[in-house]
Each structure stands twice: as C-alpha cells, then as structure tokens.
C-alpha cells in the first residue's frame, strides 16, 4: 500500500534548524521520513538520525529514504531514549533536533491501529503495539466515570467530558466497547454534530485517549530536558505540537531553560502554518512550532 504523507511546516523546520552541511541532526519522530529526507538533502558530510517507536513506519521510511541512506541512521525507539540512541551511534553532541508530535498519516489511515474515528477498527492507539500493554479499550472499559471525564477535559479540551464519560460507563455495563465505531456512535449520541471549528465530534476524545495510552505529555517533558543536554552550543531544538497541553509544556520548559540561562527562545510566539498549507493539508491546522537555541 502507498501511504500518503505531507510533512507539516517542512520549510519552517529547515529554516529554524539553521542547518550546516557537516552537522549531525536528529529527527526524533521520524514517521514516514518527510522531514528527514529534506534535512539529508541539505547535508554534505553530515548525518541525520531518525527515531521512531513504530517498526512499520521505520521500514516504510527506509524505503522512502533510499536515495539518502548514506546520510541517515535509523533507530527504532521512543524519543525519550534520544540520549542513549545518539550516544550508541557514537555521537556525543548534535547540532539540531526536530520533533513533530503529530500522529503520522500511516497510523491514522490504518484502521487496525485504532487511531481514526473515521474508520472502524480495534480501540488500540498504541504507538508501539509490541512494547506497550495499555490500550484505548482498556481505558474506556476500566477507568471510572470521573477519571474518564477528567481525561477528556485535560488532554482533549473536550467541552462535554462528563456527558461522554457517563454514556460510556452506562454502555459498558451492558457490553464492553471494543471498536472505534462503538465509541464514535456513543459520542455522536450525546454531542452536537456541528462543533466549533468544524471538527468531528469524536476528535477530542480520540486525541485524549491517544495521549493517555502513550503517556505523551510525560514523555515530552523528559525528551526536552534530554535534548537540550545533547545539543551543541548554538544548536536548536524545534518542536511542532498539535494540542494545547503539548504546547503549554513546551512553552513553560523553554521559559525555564531561558531563566536558567541554558537557552534562548527564538520564537516569542509559536509559529503557525500558512493559510496555503492549512488548505492543502488540513491536518496541519492545529500545528504550533516553538524553537529554542542552546547557549
């Protein structure tokens, strides 16, 4: 199967990494390799390290990167392991790090992964199915009503968290929820179909479940700390987030690093995709980019 893939804010990423031809860079969320190939194309004697927790994505990316494989080192792992990945490859420091925190098109479009509310599949949502136990089905079938409501509010910015949590608990007393469509139908039964911004009524709940399954916000904090330690002086950390909770963590940690005189914030406000990009790639519409330069 040929997977469609459009890298979000690619030109802005390259510009803010301040690339030089002999540098070492890390694409900490490789996905299908769009950002990585763009970085590699710029390099002469430099290297790009691509990390992804998803083995299937890694294999597809390798095929897409055939023309630049001499400049690329690919590793399966979580981005929180960035320090050990880089050091195991023989690099003490790197010149730039990029993290695009969005879910790849491959994962969204594959119903078997359970990320999409638009196709029926198992309620899974694990980024690394072989290395993780907790699934979205486990959460909706075992968390208390209060915990579900808090999860949807905190990680999804859901405006009807209690209503959705209540109907989930009522339904699972009769029968467990096992598929994405089981959950979508419940959400549609209690949430207005026309929502602000035109998003699907299930968008925020699915986002919250994905973040919880993969412990994404905790991992993000660890990743930022390790990344700054890995950067050479003058090296840059570029992060593209898609959720207010992610962006808030990035903003606060960048501010703290500035106060500790460990880095300079390059983006006083987050950079947003152009209107043209949002039109051509609707998945970019919630993207926010922040950039920190290490002292």
Residue 288 in tokens: 């926010």
Segment 250-268 shows an average pLDDT of: 97
Domain annotation covers residue 5: no
Domain annotation covers residue 184: yes
The CATH number of whichever domain residue 163 belongs to comes to 1.10.150.170
| pLDDT surpassing 70 at residue 259 | yes
| pLDDT surpassing 50 at residue 5 | yes
Domain annotation covers residue 118: no
| pLDDT surpassing 90 at residue 267 | yes
Q: Are residues 41 and 83 in the same domain?
A: yes
- Predicted pLDDT at 216: 94
How far is Cα 227 from Cα 79, in angstroms, rounded to an integer?
Answer: 10
Over residues 91-111, the pLDDT tens digits come to: 999 999 999 998 876 777 789
What is the pairing mode between strands 24-27 and 47-52?
parallel
Segment 238-257 shows an average pLDDT of: 96
Q: Are residues 94 and 220 in the same domain?
A: yes
pLDDT band for 193, please (50, 70, 90 cuts).
confident
How far is Cα 7 from Cα 277, in angstroms, rounded to an integer?
Answer: 10
Over residues 33-91, the pLDDT tens digits come to: 999 999 999 999 999 999 998 888 899 999 999 999 999 999 999 999 999 999 999 99
Write down the mean pLDDT value for the chain: 94
Segment 262-287 shows an average pLDDT of: 95
Count CA within 13 A, CB hemisphere, residue 43: 25
Domain annotation covers residue 199: yes
The boundaries of the domain holding residue 156 are: 133-213
Domain annotation covers residue 143: yes
Over residues 195-241, the pLDDT tens digits come to: 656 789 999 999 999 999 999 999 999 999 999 999 999 999 999 99
- Predicted pLDDT at 1: 42
| Residue after which a domain boundary falls, among 155, 178, 213 | 213
- Predicted pLDDT at 3: 46
Q: What percent of the chain has pLDDT over 90?
A: 86
How far is Cα 273 from Cα 269, in angstroms, rounded to an integer?
Answer: 13
- Predicted pLDDT at 16: 98
Q: Is 11 left (phi over 0), alpha (psi -120 to 50) or beta?
A: alpha
Q: Are residues 156 and 38 in the same domain?
A: no
Domain annotation covers residue 127: no
The CATH number of whichever domain residue 276 belongs to comes to 3.40.50.150
pLDDT band for 2, please (50, 70, 90 cuts).
very low
Q: Are residues 102 and 222 in the same domain?
A: yes
- Predicted pLDDT at 196: 54
């Amino acid at each position: 199967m040929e997977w469609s893939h459009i890298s979000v804010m690619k030109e802005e990423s390259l510009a803010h990494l301040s690339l030089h031809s002999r540098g070492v860079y890390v694409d900490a969320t490789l996905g299908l390799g769009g950002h990585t190939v763009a970085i590699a194309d710029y390099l002469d004697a430099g290297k790009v390290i691509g990390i992804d927790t998803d083995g299937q994505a890694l294999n597809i990316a390798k095929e897409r990167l055939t023309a630049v494989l001499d400049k690329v080192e690919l590793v399966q792992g979580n981005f929180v392991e960035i320090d050990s990945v880089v050091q195991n490859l023989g690099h003490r420091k790197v010149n730039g790090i990029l993290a695009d925190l969005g879910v790849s098109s491959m994962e969204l479009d594959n119903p078997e992964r359970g990320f999409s509310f638009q196709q029926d599949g198992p309620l899974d949502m694990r980024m690394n199915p072989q290395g993780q136990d907790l699934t979205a089905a486990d959460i909706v079938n075992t968390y208390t009503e209060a915990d579900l409501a808090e999860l949807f509010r905190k990680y999804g910015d859901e405006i009807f968290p209690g209503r959705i949590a209540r109907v989930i608990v009522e339904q699972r007393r009769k029968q467990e929820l096992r598929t994405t469509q089981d959950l979508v139908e419940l959400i549609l039964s209690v949430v207005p179909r026309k929502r602000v911004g035109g998003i699907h009524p299930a968008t925020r709940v699915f986002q919250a479940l994905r973040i919880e399954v993969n412990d994404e916000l905790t991992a993000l904090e660890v990743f930022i700390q390790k990344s700054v330690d890995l950067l050479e002086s003058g090296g840059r950390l570029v992060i593209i987030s898609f959720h207010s909770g992610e962006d808030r963590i990035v903003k606060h940690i960048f501010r703290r690093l500035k106060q500790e005189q460990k880095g300079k914030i390059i983006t006083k406000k987050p950079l947003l995709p152009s209107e043209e990009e949002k039109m051509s790639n609707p998945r970019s519409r919630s993207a926010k980019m922040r950039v920190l330069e290490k002292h």
